[in-house]
């Protein structure tokens, strides 16, 4: 996808959010794969954002965010700063019991304004490719005034077992590559469009 970059404007920054913290998690393998796909594109600057690096308290705990939005925790403030500096997000999410991991929901709840009018894309994995988790995550994103994208990557049991047990690579599954390309095409368009809109609002 051809994108005209304005002189002096840096490439938009995209955070690929690893949404589980389990030992031996498959999500890290998935996250590094989608990062490698994104690195082939010149339009975006992508980085991994690992929830292990942000040991957030449970939302509503005394050292968390107050009713007025005041932050009393350095890790929460650091998490909010990271979200604020990004122009969009790719959520790499497992499906836990037909939903998203609790640690991801907890992390999302610790911010709000940082998300507004930014795109959110999804890479899910699980029994049905993480589809049920991704659908719920889309609804959550709407409430945060994120713009959830239609194109997504869903990694089901066959590629999961092939990669984890049989030594295969994601490149052995052309459908996953096609889905990743479609996701990134959508993400590029929406990232640039929404960034331009946010800047226009600031100068209006």
Q: What tens digit of pLDDT does each residue of 43-91 get?
A: 999 999 999 999 999 988 776 555 555 556 899 999 999 999 999 999 9
Which strand (E) or helix (H) includes residue 154?
strand 147-155
Phi, psi of 164 (to 5 degrees): -80, -25
The least confident of 60-69, 119-128, 194-203 is 60-69
Report the percentage of the chain scoring pLDDT > 70: 90
User: What is the SS3 assignment for 127?
Assistant: coil
Average pLDDT over residues 170-176: 97
At residue 204, the pLDDT reads 53
Tokens of 111: 């911010």
At residue 6, the pLDDT reads 44
Nearest to 166 by CA among 179, 157, 176: 157
Measured distance CA(30)–CA(26) in Å, rounded: 7
pLDDT band at 4 (very low <50, low <70, confident <90, very high): very low
Show me where the domains of the chain are located.
13-203
At residue 60, the pLDDT reads 81
At residue 2, the pLDDT reads 45
For the whole prediction, is pTM greater than 0.95?
no
At residue 193, the pLDDT reads 98
The answer to whether the CB of 195 falls within 8 A of the CB of 43 is: no
> What is the CATH superfamily name and number for domain 13-203?
Flavodoxin domain (3.40.50.360)
Average pLDDT over residues 178-204: 92
Q: How far apart are the first and last CA of the chain?
A: 29
């Amino acid at each position: 996808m051809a994108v005209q970059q304005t002189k002096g404007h840096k490439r938009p920054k995209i955070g690929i959010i690893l949404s589980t913290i389990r030992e031996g998690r498959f999500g890290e393998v998935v996250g590094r794969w989608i990062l490698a796909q994104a690195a082939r594109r010149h339009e975006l600057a992508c980085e991994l954002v690992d929830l292990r690096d942000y040991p957030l308290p449970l939302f509503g705990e005394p050292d968390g965010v107050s009713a007025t939005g005041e932050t009393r925790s350095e890790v929460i403030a650091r998490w909010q700063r990271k979200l604020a500096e990004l122009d969009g997000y790719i959520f790499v999410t497992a499906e836990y019991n037909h939903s998203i991991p609790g640690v991801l929901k907890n992390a999302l709840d610790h911010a709000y304004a940082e998300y507004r009018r930014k795109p959110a894309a999804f890479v899910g994995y699980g029994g049905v490719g993480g589809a049920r988790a991704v659908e719920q995550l889309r609804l959550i994103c709407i409430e945060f005034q994120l713009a959830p994208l239609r194109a997504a990557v869903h990694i089901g049991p066959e590629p999961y077992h092939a990669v984890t047990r049989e030594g295969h690579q994601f490149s052995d599954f052309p459908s996953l590559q096609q889905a990743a390309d479609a996701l990134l095409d959508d993400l590029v368009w929406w990232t640039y469009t929404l960034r331009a809109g946010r800047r226009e609002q600031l100068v209006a």
